[in-house]
Each structure stands twice: as C-alpha cells, then as structure tokens.
Amino acid sequence: MKDKNDFVFSSASPASRVLYRLRRFAARTRQIIVRRRVLVMLFVLVLLYHYLSDSGLPFLPRFHWGSSRFVIILAVNQGGGVMQWKGAKEWAVERTSIANKKAYADRHGYDLAIQDMSIKKRYAHEWRESWEKVDVIRSTMKQYPKAEWFWWLDLHTYIMEPDVSLERHVFNKIENNTYRSLSVYNPMNLPVSLPYVDNTHDINLVVPQDCGGFNLGSFFIRRSEWTDFLLDVWWDPVFYEQRHMQWEHKEQDALEHMYSNQPWIRSGVSFIPQRLVNSFPAGACAEQAGDPRIFYDEKDRDFVVNMAGCEWGRDCFGEMEHFQKLSASLQQQNKKWLPW
Amino acid sequence: MHFAIPSRAGDSSLPGSPSFRAKSKSKTYSPSFLSQIYETIVKSESDSLSSFDRKRKSSRRSAISTVLLLAIIVLVTFVVVIYFVAQRLSSVVQASGPSIVLVLGLDGDHYKDDYLQKIVSNRKEYADAQGYGLYVRDVKDFDHRVIDPEKTEWKKLPLLRAAMQDHPGAKFYWYLDQNAIIMNPNLNLEEHILEPKRLNSLVLRDIPIVPPDSTIRTYRHVPADRMKFIISQDHEGLQTSSFILKNEEYSKYVVDAWFDKLYQEYTFAKKDKGALEHLAQWHPTVLSKMAVIPQRTFNSYPNGVGESLYQDGDFVASFIGCESPERNCVREFERLWDNRGRVVVKK
C-alpha cells in the first residue's frame, strides 16, 4: 500500500483493520527501540534506579552540583562533656541524630554543617552564655556564602519524614505556610500590634512558637541585611546587664523582648505552626497535653520531632530510639510501586 | 493499455498536460514504449507538480512561519515595553514628594509660641527655597511612646519614625533640633554634604567615637556612598541635635534599635547620645554605615570653642543646651536671629 490510509479507509473488515493497526504499532515500537537505543536505555535505567534504590526520588534523578540553597546547621556536643559526663547513651543519641540529618541532607542535596557547641572560655562566667547560637549562625553563613536559608536544628531532634523536601513543605508557599501576626497564636501574650511594622518586608526568620514562647530548637534564618543586623544586635551588654537574671532562656527571651519593642524585627519575622517543623513528644510542654497544635501525631506524619528538654528529667536515649524505630516503620509503609 | 491519469482542475496549461490519449489512428505503440512514456510523464508531472507544490507548500509554510515569528517579536516587545513603562510609572508614583525632608519637633510646653513660630518660619524659608519638605510635630504627640515623657530628647526618635512613615518617597531625612537656626539658607544640602564625592571629603576617618580616646574608632576604608547615617560630634561625643538619615531599611533598623525600652531606662549619662554611642561601639553593623563629619558642617556652636565655634557663613547655628543656668536661651537666640542670612533670590 502506497498510502496507509488506503487500507484503513478501504472496504476491509473492521477486525482486519484493527489487526493491521496493531501490527503497525508493534512494528513502530520496535523501530523506536532499534533507532533510539540511547533514550530507551536511559528510560530503563531511571525506572531501575527508582525501584532498586531507596531514595524515594521524584521521577527524575537528582544530581547535585555546586552549593545548595539550604544549609542544615546541626548543633552537636552541647556542653562538650564539661559539666556532665557523656556516657554511651549520650554518644548513641548523638550518632543517631547526626546520621539522620546526614541521610536527609544527602537525599535532598542540602548542605549539612555540624557545629560543635562545647563550652568555650569566651562564654565563661555567664558572659554571652547561651548566645553561642548567634555566633555559630554567623560563622556558618560565612562558610556557605552562596546559601540562602539556614535551618538550625538542636541535637535532640529527629527528621521523621525524609521524603519531604523543604521547598515543598515550607518555602514554595512561604506566605501561606507561615503567619506574621500574633493574633493567630500568642502563647506568651506579647503585644499583638506595634506601629510602623512593614508587612511587605521579606521574611528572614521563620520560627515556631511552643507553649512557652519562641522555640529556637528548629527554625530557619535567611541571609540578608536584616539578618546581619539581627545577629549583631541580638546580644547587647545593656540588655544583658538589665535582664539576664530574668531571662531564663537567654537568646530566646532576648528575641522575644526585641520582637515586643522594636518594629523592624516584626517586619522580618514570620511564625510557622509548630507541628510543621518542631513537633513535641508527649513529655515536653506536659501542661498542655492534648493540645493539637503541639504534639507529634503519627497519623498526620509530622515532619520533625524535637525532643526539647529531654535532658532534664526525661530519657533522651529512649525517646530517640522510639522515634527512630517509628520513623523506619512509617517509611516501610511508604514504599509505593509507581514512581509518581 | 489504457492509462487513466487522474485529471486535475485547471491544469491544462501545465507542461505534461495529462490530456494524453493513447489512441492514435496512424500509429500503434507497444506497451513497453507506452509504459515508458507514462512513467516519464508521471514522473515529470509528479516532479514538477510536487516541486511546485513543494514550493507552494514551503513558501506557504515559510510565509506562515515568518508571520508567526513577527507576531512573537511584536508580542515580546509589547510585553517588555509595558513592563518598563509600568516600572517607571510605579517608581514615579513612589518618588512623589520632596527628596529631602526636614524633621522638626516643637516643645510647646517649655517654649513660647512666638519663639516657636520664628523657628518654624526659618525652616520653612529654607525648605521652600531649596525645594525640600518640612515635617513639623509637637513632641507632646509622642508622650505615650516614650518611657518617661519628661525626657524630651527621646521623643525625636518616634518623631523621626513618623516622618519616615509619612514621607516614604523621600531620599533623606534631616533631623534638626528646635533650638537651632539655619543661618545660611542658600546652601544646598546635596552640594554641601550629601553628594558622594563631597561626603567622602568630609568624612572623618579613624577618629574615636567618644573623644578623646575611646577604643572604637570610625572606619577607615568604607566608601562614602555606603554611608547612611551622617552625624557630627563635639568635644563630648556624638551630637544628636543635627543628623541625616538615608531612607533605607538600615535607618529603620537603627532608629528602632536605638529607641528600645532598655536603652531609655538605662542610666546613660548622656541619655540618647549615650545610647547612640553605645550602639556605635558595640554593634559594627551600625558603625559601618555611620559617617562622622566635621561639626561646623551643620551644627556650629556660637558659644563653642575651637573646632565647633560658629563663624560667619556657617550653615547652622545650634544653641542646644542653652537651658543650663549659665546661659540664656532668649539672648542667644535674639543675637543669632538678627544676624541670620536670608535667601538670595536668583534673577
């Protein structure tokens, strides 16, 4: 047949026309496989990579060249064993936490900065003690000059859902996922509005609130002029002299003070609902047991658990083990058979 | 053999016209010969027709693609032009209003009305002559913002913030204290201070923030176009009776941080000046954008000594601190007021 339409529109029977079509389709496919061998091989490789690897990647494999937009700052070695002996359990907790963050960072192509928080002489005699976070963030920003967002994580945290990427979870729709105004949730009863706050200002600090105020165990901070200023004025000797006896949580209280008094801070701070990046286990914030905004919920598959305060009165090792096992079993349920 | 060549409409003018009939009474042609001819004809016909067709098709295709390309170019140009026009328009809208705003706070509780009126008229004369804006408020408006309403010097900060809010399109805000007179209203602020080269020549580098020998000194190499806070100092330290702020985020940060409750409550001997010196010494992000210029540029003292002594032709004469017992505000003011320069109207 010179013209394929000749046959299809001829007077042959429908069955033979269908058969003809199928034969042509098979021939065409064989033609593609033979002629476009490279593409077909790539396609097969991608499918194999998805099924055989444990990466849970989206359809295309991710290659990570250059530096990432996100840096995870993991604070380890809190105290450095100076005030308290670090036994086998403490070391185990540290190993688990670090391995968890490493796996997460590798999966998504983020950078991981593991920062040592041992007690240093320059913070001795309470001078700037507990303001080390600020210095660490500043030095990490210098180490990663191209990164935009820095995610601070305390040691006693565990990323429960490693498939969740930060872009999709928070940053692609940052205005929707976070709230700027305390009228939404104000556990510390800070003043709700101040004059001269600019709500169109870029968001440079994303911080969750727990039952006792701002929680700096898991928060995001962005490289900007605002951030430079904040990291500079966060510790001030006049503030320190007047308030450090009252401020139990030092830099957290300093931030809350500045947030209540200085409008420029409000312009750049946005709050994220606690359970998006900072769920608590049942032991923390125990007075608020049952509050749906605070505690880790397995059914909702919360992203990160922050075992805040486990070193005072609770069992860090036990909690870390529990969440590690829980996360592993949840990931088992996760395995889908289609790549999309 | 009979060859039935499908005929097309209106093609009798084409070469190889298919009006070929194999019948001829005089000759009989062999089938092979006829088939050869047929093939030649068909080939030439298909060649010529299809080449013509191809030309037509290709010319049609190229015509379509040209039109499409032109349409895309026009669309893109249109979008780009609209975008830039919109940007220009929005920036024009934002930049409405004067580019420099003078900020003045009047203390109606402690000074007589006619005195205050004279001060306002002095500022207005200057602002009108130079095309600047003037923002005047009574400092009583800010009593509820400060910790202690008796401390008037702190009220300049919420006043400045209000000025920034009300004049968002300005480029610079010049705060000049009430107890000062602009003696030379013919000096244009841009030429006199703000122009980057001029500012660069004025900036005092490597001088102690708190004379005579504070450890922290002004920066040596920061270029003047990065400076956003222009202030002067006398023999005691930074003088906050006359300073200029650029309208950028930095200025909002500094004013808000300076105004913090804990600074107001703290026992700085020099009050707001002490707080600013503290900020400059402890926080490099503040100091790095601060330009300290010679005092007589915009803050001369008529009763000063040495470098700060007012001379004829100086821009501003400031008699702050005249409330102290050994001085007399009224007399100092009268002497200066009568000697002040007036605007020279250019013909």
pLDDT of B187-215, one tens digit each?
A: 999 999 999 999 999 999 999 999 888 89
pLDDT in tens, B144-189: 989 888 888 999 999 999 999 999 999 999 999 998 999 999 999 9
How far is the C-alpha of A251 from the C-alpha of A269, rounded, in Å?
Answer: 15
Rounded percentage of chain A residues whose pLDDT exceeds 70 = 88
Delineate the domains of chain A, giving CATH numbers in brackets: 67-331 (3.90.550.10)
The model's pTM is 0.75
- Does residue B282 belong to the interface with chain A, where contact is any CB pair within 8 Å? yes
Cβ neighbours of A247 in B, within 8 Å: none
- Residues B246-290 have pLDDT tens digits of 999 999 999 999 999 999 999 899 889 999 999 999 999 999 999
Of A201, A225, A238, the CB nearest to B263: A238
pLDDT at B1: 46
DSSP A214-236: E-TTEEEEE-SHHHHHHHHHSS-
The 10s digit of each residue's pLDDT in A58-74 is 444 444 455 688 999 99
Higher pLDDT, B329 or A165: A165
Average pLDDT over residues A72-96: 86
Q: What is the DSSP letter of A238?
A: H
pLDDT for B134-149, tens place per residue?
A: 999 999 999 998 988 8
Cβ within 8 Å, pair A264-B257: yes
pLDDT of B4 reads 47
The pLDDT, as a whole number, for residue A4 is 62
Q: Which residues of A touch B (CB under 8 A)?
A: 195-196, 198, 201, 225-226, 228-229, 232-233, 236-239, 242-243, 257-258, 261-265
The answer to whether residue B336 scores a pLDDT higher than 90 is no
Question: How many residue pairs from chains A and B have C-beta atoms closer than 8 A?
Answer: 55
Report CB contact under 8 Å: A257, B262: yes
* Residue in this structure with the two tokens 């065409």, named with its chain if needed: A28
Question: What phi and psi values does residue A4 have, to the nearest 5 degrees?
Answer: -60, -30
Cis peptide bond prior to B212, omega within 30° of 0: yes
Distance from CA of A237 to the nearest CA of B (A): 8
Q: Quick one: pLDDT at residue A100?
A: 94
How far is the C-alpha of B284 from the C-alpha of B230, rounded, in Å?
Answer: 16
Are A225 and B250 in contact (CB < 8 Å)? yes
Q: What's the pLDDT at A63?
A: 47
Statement: residue A165 has pLDDT above 70: yes
- Which amino acid belongs to residue A203? I
Which of A17-26, A68-77, B198-207, B319-328 is the least confident region?
A: B319-328
Cα within 13 Å of Cα(B310), Cβ side: 24
Over residues B68-95, the mean pLDDT reads 76
Q: DSSP letter string over B305-345? A: -GGGB--TT-SEEE-TTTTSTTS-HHHHHHHHHHH---PPP
Q: What is the mean pLDDT of residues A152-158?
A: 94
Q: Could A225 and B278 be called an inter-chain contact, meaning their C-beta atoms sit closer than 8 Å?
A: no
Of the candidates B161, B260, B284, the beta carbon closest to that of A261 is on B260
The most confident of the ranges A277-291, B70-84, B102-116 is B102-116
Chain B residues touching A228 at Cβ < 8 A = 285
* Residue A6 pLDDT exceeds 70: no
Assess whether pLDDT exceeds 70 at residue A30: yes
Q: Are A129 and A123 in contact (CB under 8 A)?
A: yes
Among all residues of chain A, which has the CA nearest to that of B288? A229
pLDDT of amino acid A335 = 66
Residue A5, pLDDT score: 64
Residue B99 has pLDDT above 60, yes or no: yes
Give residue B339's pLDDT band: very low, low, confident or very high (50, 70, 90).
confident
* Whole-number CA gyration radius for chain A: 27
Assigned token pair, B268: 């700085």
DSSP string across B20-46: --S--SS----HHHHHHHHHHHHHHHH
Band of residue A255 on the pLDDT scale cut at 50, 70, 90? very high
**Who among A195, A201, A242 is closest to B266 (CB)?**
A242
Radius of gyration, CA atoms only, chain B? 41
* Residue A7: pLDDT band with limits 50, 70, 90: low
Higher pLDDT, B44 or A305: A305
**Residue A245 confidence (pLDDT) above 80:** yes
Q: Which of A156-160, A166-170, B65-69 has the highest mean pLDDT?
A: A156-160
Distance of alpha carbon A294 from alpha carbon B20, whole angstroms: 94
* pLDDT single digits (tens) B121-133: 999 999 999 999 9
Check if the beta carbon of residue B118 is closer than 8 Å to that of residue B150.
no
Q: Output the average pLDDT for chain A.
A: 85
Chain B closest CA to A232's CA: distance in Å? 6
pLDDT at A243 over 60: yes
Give the whole-angstrom CA distance, residue B152 versus residue B321. 13
Predicted confidence (pLDDT) at residue B52 exceeds the cutoff of 80: no
